[in-house]
Structure 1
Amino acid sequence: MTQADFLKAPFPAAVELPPEEVDGPKRFFNRELSWLGFNWRVLEEAENPKVPLLERLRFLSISATNLDEFYTVRVAGLRELAHAGNETPAADGLSPSEQLVLINADARSLMEHQQVVWNALRSEMETAGIVLETSETLRDEDRAHLDEIFLSNVFPVLSPLAIDPAHPFPFIPNTGYALALQMKRSSDRQELKALLPIPHQIDRFVALPDVGETRRFLPLEELLLLYVGVLFPGYKVTGHCSFRVLRDSDLEVEDEAEDLVREFEVALKRRRRGEVIRLSISANAPQPLQKVIVDELHVGESEVIELSGMIGVADLKELVLDDRRDLLWPSFTPRVPERVQDHDGDMFAAIRQKDMLLHHPYETFDMVIRFLNQAAADPDVLAIKQTLYRTSTESPIVTALCEAAEAGKSVTALVELKARFDEAANIRQSRRLERAGAHVIYGFLNWKTHAKISTVVRREGGKLVTYTHYGTGNYHPITARIYTDLSFFTCDTALGRDATKVFNYVGGYAPPEGLENLAISPHGLKSRLIELMEKEGDNAEAGKPAAIWAKMNSVIEPDVIDALYRASQRGVKISLVIRGICGLRPGIKGLSENIRVKSIVGRFLEHSRIVCFGNGASLPSKKARVFMSSADWMGRNLNRRIETLVECTNATVKAQIVSQIMAANLADEAQSWVMAPDGKFTREIPQDGQQLFNCHRFFMENPSLSGRGSAGAADVPELTHTED
């Protein structure tokens, strides 16, 4: 579908529903079930024949990892509410206990289908020369190799444990995997139950010697069964099973913690010891073994999932082999913007020329690192301020900040300790920054600082100039290779003042006043969005063109959804690209007939947050008001986090966002799932020989508008900026 086709396409016919589904709680979809729907879409990519084989395996692994996190956080929270007798309904009217019933049924189906997908992929992998062996299919010459592997790399870190009154049941950590054994002693037939907890440090799949061009692996549990005689001399296995546990991983921090870092270190230890909320165990496990595992882990029947096949599907990511390029996406090297090259790599000179928007991963994230590296080395730079929500273990961003601090520059790092599952890494980074002499602040105890901002203050010609970077993603060079995000660089004085006020707010708790081109949550970002939506409604009622285009990861905040419903009822045409959770129901007569929703799941993870308002004209248009944000439209982001909504006013940046990024996302067919009024998503299946438009391929092949240099670039095919 070209841009022109998309703009001409009518909105789908609206469906009529009973009044109670239009006016009451049923006008919202349940958040948790919507998230499960997204994970089904991820899993279905593992079955997409257009996707390379090992990338399909990666999608399967991602679907399992996603589900693990969903259980350890979201389901754990609902379970706690239900156990406490809390029947407060969610926005859609379902109580915690009602949600748990629906979640467990859908999640069980999803896990069962993961096994179906794995069996199909395993067969294809064997055809492609990647084989998973079993103890029965091993070759004689494999044993010598396995002897060395077991004795050198496995045996030293194992702790085989008997289960009896003298040996209490061991602690199995979150995502912990173990082999349970039922044995008899050869000498006197004495029975013994035992466990082999498997440390995370051991690879799940053991590489075997290649046979010709065939790569071969043995699952670790099969290896352990081969060497039970070494671990338990004199015993013979009469039955066995494997199991994996998930624990409550939500953090609770005392309100009056005197030392926030120390409190989080304690909380992380509590996380590892949280209650078991899901037990996956081999189907047909010996009943005595299953009973002792279930009893000792204190799990109920609804929390036990018996699986025929692979336990721990998330571990399959180990079989995504980097050296099998024929089974992976074609290699792609992110571009260095032409404008930066025109200035011989000088980021400050490129930004001084005019505002610049980079679209990651298509434009390299190295430009963000270069920005900070140059700031650290530049004698004219006086100060750097930086937010850190998630970043890599050996972060080049943190290294640049440390070097700047050691060089005597004023460095302020705002480290968010509550970045879920990155708390330990962030504590380490904060210690490193403090040792280098940086001023480290942790923001608010009750609100996460999720905003992505960096400022560099530079002395130029007797005055101070502030260079600012606003992002939609994290300062994480690894995820930046696969997440689609925006990086906006500017030396606009108003945006620099706004950024400085945000840092002062988080460091000193005084709410900022007089923000010029910026709105922040929880102080005004949501009301600003709703005000802009209402203005589009005013335009529609005045007979002017009225449109909203938005791209988010999630939309569930009830006030925002109701504002979108009101805009639709007033005649505003609303097109949403929502990757994950969507609590809004599109295409319902009298409620949302002017709203359409799609989800894009493909090679890259859609992560940027964008919203465009027609402002009295149709989209795309030069008159549009264009914003980028760190915030999804969720209650936590709009009401309980520090987030940013930045208005982009530079004409080229606006054109890039509206006419290139948003138009391509909306025109995409190859990776798009369209949401129906009943909440189901469907995607277009291409006919033989049909080439559907793929926005990821488009972005890989076409340079960003605002990154073009003096040499120019090829015209953007079919998605050029249009006049009003």
Structure 2
Amino acid sequence: MSKFNKSKNFINRELSWIEFNKRVLEECKNTDHPIFERLRFLSITSSNLDEFFMVRVGSLIDQMKAGFHKPDPSGLTPEEQLSSIYTNVTKLVAKQCSYYNRSLKIALGKEDIRFLKMNDLNETQLKFVQNYYRKNVFPVLTPMLLDSSSAFPLLLNKSLNIGLILKQNNEKFFATVQVPSVLPRIIRVPSESGLHIILLEDIIKLNLKTLFGTKDILSYGCYRITRNADLTLDEEGAEDLLEAIEESLKQRKWAAAIRLELEKGIDKDIVRTLEKELEVSKNQEYILNVPIDLTFLNKLISIKEYSYLCYDTIKPLNPLRDVEDEDMFSVISKKDILLSHPYESFDPVINLVRQSAEDPSVLAIKQVLYRVSGNSPIVKSLIKAAENGKQVTVLVELKARFDEENNILWAKQLEKSGCHVIYGLVGLKTHCKLLLIVREEKDGIKRYVHMGTGNYNDVTAKIYTDLGLFTSNPYFGEDASVIFNMLSGRSIPKELKKTCIAPLNLRERFLYLIEREENNALNEKPARIIAKMNSLVDKHIIEALYKASSTGVKIHLIVRGICCLRPGIKGVSENITVISIVGRFLEHSRIFYFYNDGEEDLYLSSADWMTRNLDRRVELLFPIEEIDIKNKLKEILDMQLKDTIKARALNNNGSYSNIDKRGKKQSLDSQKLFYESTLAAAENSSNKIESLKKKWREEGFEVRQTE
């Protein structure tokens, strides 16, 4: 064993994820955010925990049940990982409850937004609630009583329920009623001022006697279960992938329970019944003194009359705003164009696909769709293109987790319109972001390409930071054609001119680029790597970074989420720094910089440095060659590395801390600066732009002149 691959050098993946969710939760405390935005961060942490249990915890439980005891790279067995997860999540959930009760509810109260309980209702409100219950709630409810003749009811994954203990003929019975998800959970009640709300479960609690025909309700309380969603799909044996995935979605609703959330004060008899029937243990239980499933806060945030408690809608700059639709192809023909979302608009991507659908010179459109919005303008344009007689090929990734149902619906609509719909390669998710347009022009066939770091989703493009490149470079066009032929024809490309793809040669390319910096350092040349991504997990990449660091390569990592690399190990990672940025926008772009003895190579990719991205997905890495775009990317990296407000530094023990501001001239929020510069550019304010550049130079940024 070398000094680089020892288990003590690695941070456990699951514990690193919990640290990431802690950083998201921290934003709830930040009073610089409007109150509804603080609620949004709390809702996100709850949604993140749901997915974490369904996928990651579910997988570990499956491993343990299968007798798999092999330790992970950090040296922890599945049993040890689960034990640490339960301990750390309990602490995280306690923080969620504390922030909600001690800070957020108080801040909402100052805005006269109040959550009422049964005892808080005045006579008018009580009458309203009872009338609402009779008309809207009672007809939908299905009470279920458990006796010796009935089996325990099947409880839907993530459903909120009310458990009861009833007394009939001197005998105790367990009963349950599901809080119906088809009804709004937030019900606004009459009030003289402000926004007064009662939750649906509290209305049902007030009327439980109408459901069971008895006054002897001894106790009741809310509970919620989370089921294992890590269902392995046998693609090889699936004759129809569409049907197989539809069936797996049904299974997900009824898989084994792996978490039980309980309302504080719930009766022990209810808990014992749930433990027995759901086969959950005490360490899988979480007792909450807040409403269960805080994702409901998203509904509160969306109330339009209180939108002033959210951030103003971002006003992205459209760098092609002066370009008429018919000129899109000519503009891309002149030079490569980089879009930086959400600071710059996603509209040019939408417009290019829409124009291609209508342009008689366009012969074919090929596109990969991983996650799209529910009302996707891009999908509508692809359907229109097919109806207009163009060759349209769309790869719809049906295995995009938790978007399977949405993607199945789109796939069926695309097929009906005449598109060639393909579902990728067996055993691999197709995660690359690629659009190819083939056009007949005076000089012959010409290809236009868009490649990006994020999905073709017009909604998330407003809240995720991502990068996309338009190009008519024929080498990129050739590569795009080869990649689409690989996806549709199941062929292995012999040669790619500019790009690299996983799982064929992307891992090898990254390892080569890291090793080249290592060799330069060994030859006493300056060597530097900067990499920005969502997650860093892959053991071989981490070992290569350790090896490069030990030779003197300066390595700066910007990793938003999971990071299994441990910085600051003597002789191993002393030259590596890691920061994470969690802010208003979700950092989603992947940028890779290699100094290369002064040549400075820059790449964008759809891939993180995770084993799944490098070995089990179709991913794309593409170089940036135009100097002005290179400069723009270097400014992005430069600013983020000097962020002192939103950035957190990874410590050697796996925890994160605030950036040390000693010696810094002023505090710096990189996302805020990016947005300010975008607004200045949108207003064509040269004074504002020069003022911002002066501010950046004072902070030590390399502000470069672009063409």
| 1:6 equivalent in structure 2 | none
Tell me the TM-score normalised to structure 2 length.
0.94
SS in 2 for 1:271: helix
From 589, 611, 614, the counterpart of 1:635: 611
For structure 1, list consecutive stretches of 5 or more residues without a partner in the other structure: 1-18, 618-622
SS in 1 for 2:689: coil
| 1:127 equivalent in structure 2 | 110
For structure 2, list consecutive stretches of 5 or more residues without a partner in the other structure: none
Q: Deviations over 1:259-301 (max 9, x none)?
A: 1111111111111111000111123322222221221112122
One-letter amino acid of the counterpart of residue 594, structure 2: F
Asked whether the 8 Å contact 1:547–1:574 carries over to 2, the reply is: yes
- 2:138 aligned with 1:161: no
| Equivalences for residues 24-63 of structure 1 within 5 A | 24-63=6-45
One-letter amino acid of the counterpart of residue 240, structure 2: D
Asked whether the 8 Å contact 2:188–2:197 carries over to 1, the reply is: yes
| 2:627 equivalent in structure 1 | 651
One-letter amino acid of the counterpart of residue 385, structure 1: K
Q: Deviations over 1:366-411 (max 9, x none)?
A: 2211111011011111000010111112211111110000000000
Tell me the TM-score normalised to structure 1 length.
0.92
| 2:576 equivalent in structure 1 | 595
> Percent same amino acid at aligned positions?
39
From 423, 437, 442, the counterpart of 2:418: 437
From 132, 137, 140, the counterpart of 2:120: 137
Measured at CA, do residues 710 and 646 of structure 1 come closer, stay the same or move farther in structure 2, by a change above 3 Å?
Answer: farther
Measured at CA, do residues 639 and 452 of structure 1 come closer, stay the same or move farther in structure 2, by a change above 3 Å?
Answer: same
From 652, 656, 662, the counterpart of 1:681: 656
| 2:671 equivalent in structure 1 | 696
SS in 2 for 1:591: coil
One-letter amino acid of the counterpart of residue 133, structure 1: L
SS in 1 for 2:486: helix
Asked whether the 8 Å contact 1:243–1:280 carries over to 2, the reply is: yes
State how far apart, in whole Å, the 2-side matches of 1:712 and 1:654 are.
25
- 2:689 aligned with 1:714: yes
- 2:269 aligned with 1:293: no
Measured at CA, do residues 510 and 344 of structure 1 come closer, stay the same or move farther in structure 2, by a change above 3 Å?
Answer: closer
Q: Deviations over 1:166-186 (max 9, x none)?
A: 34322111111100122346x
| 1:216 equivalent in structure 2 | 196
Q: Give the number of aligned pairs.
A: 694
- 2:255 aligned with 1:274: yes
| Equivalences for residues 353-364 of structure 1 within 5 A | 353-364=334-345
State how far apart, in whole Å, the 2-side matches of 1:711 and 1:26 are.
52
| Equivalences for residues 558-597 of structure 1 within 5 A | 558-597=539-578
| 1:469 equivalent in structure 2 | 450
State how far apart, in whole Å, the 2-side matches of 1:713 and 1:48 are.
28
State how far apart, in whole Å, the 2-side matches of 1:231 and 1:383 are.
60
Task: Give the superposition deviation at 1:210.
Answer: 3.5
| 1:105 equivalent in structure 2 | 87
| 1:553 equivalent in structure 2 | 534
State how far apart, in whole Å, the 1-side matches of 2:475 and 2:424 are.
23
Q: Deviations over 1:469-512 (max 9, x none)?
A: 10111111111111100111111110011111111111112111
State how far apart, in whole Å, the 2-side matches of 1:690 and 1:180 are.
58
Q: Which moved more, 1:538-547 or 1:704-713?
A: 704-713
- 2:496 aligned with 1:515: yes
SS in 1 for 2:275: helix
- 2:190 aligned with 1:235: no
| 1:4 equivalent in structure 2 | none
- 2:244 aligned with 1:263: yes
Asked whether the 8 Å contact 1:357–1:706 carries over to 2, the reply is: no
| 2:47 equivalent in structure 1 | 65
State how far apart, in whole Å, the 1-side matches of 2:167 and 2:251 are.
37
| 1:671 equivalent in structure 2 | 646
| Equivalences for residues 528-547 of structure 1 within 5 A | 528-547=509-528
SS in 1 for 2:510: helix
From 173, 182, 186, the counterpart of 2:165: 182
Measured at CA, do residues 100 and 712 of structure 1 come closer, stay the same or move farther in structure 2, by a change above 3 Å?
Answer: same
Asked whether the 8 Å contact 2:317–2:681 carries over to 1, the reply is: no
Asked whether the 8 Å contact 1:452–1:470 carries over to 2, the reply is: yes
| 1:16 equivalent in structure 2 | none
Greater relative CO (CA pairs within 8 A, separation 6+):
1
State how far apart, in whole Å, the 1-side matches of 2:287 and 2:679 are.
49
State how far apart, in whole Å, the 2-side matches of 1:196 and 1:457 are.
57
| 1:495 equivalent in structure 2 | 476
Task: Give the superposition deviation at 1:119.
Answer: 0.2
One-letter amino acid of the counterpart of residue 515, structure 2: E
State how far apart, in whole Å, the 1-side matches of 2:140 and 2:446 are.
56
Q: CA RMSD in A?
A: 2.4
Q: Deviations over 1:529-578 (max 9, x none)?
A: 11111111222222322111110000010111111111111111111110
State how far apart, in whole Å, the 2-side matches of 1:493 and 1:416 are.
27
State how far apart, in whole Å, the 2-side matches of 1:21 and 1:240 are.
57
State how far apart, in whole Å, the 2-side matches of 1:150 and 1:685 are.
55
Q: Deviations over 1:116-135 (max 9, x none)?
A: 11102112211221100000
SS in 2 for 1:211: coil
State how far apart, in whole Å, the 1-side matches of 2:529 and 2:133 are.
60
Task: Give the superposition deviation at 1:112.
Answer: 1.4
Asked whether the 8 Å contact 1:554–1:633 carries over to 2, the reply is: yes
- 2:150 aligned with 1:148: no
State how far apart, in whole Å, the 2-side matches of 1:470 and 1:264 are.
28
Measured at CA, do residues 585 and 629 of structure 1 come closer, stay the same or move farther in structure 2, by a change above 3 Å?
Answer: same
Task: Give the superposition deviation at 1:336.
Answer: 1.1
One-letter amino acid of the counterpart of residue 412, structure 1: T
Task: Give the superposition deviation at 1:57.
Answer: 0.9
Asked whether the 8 Å contact 1:484–1:604 carries over to 2, the reply is: yes
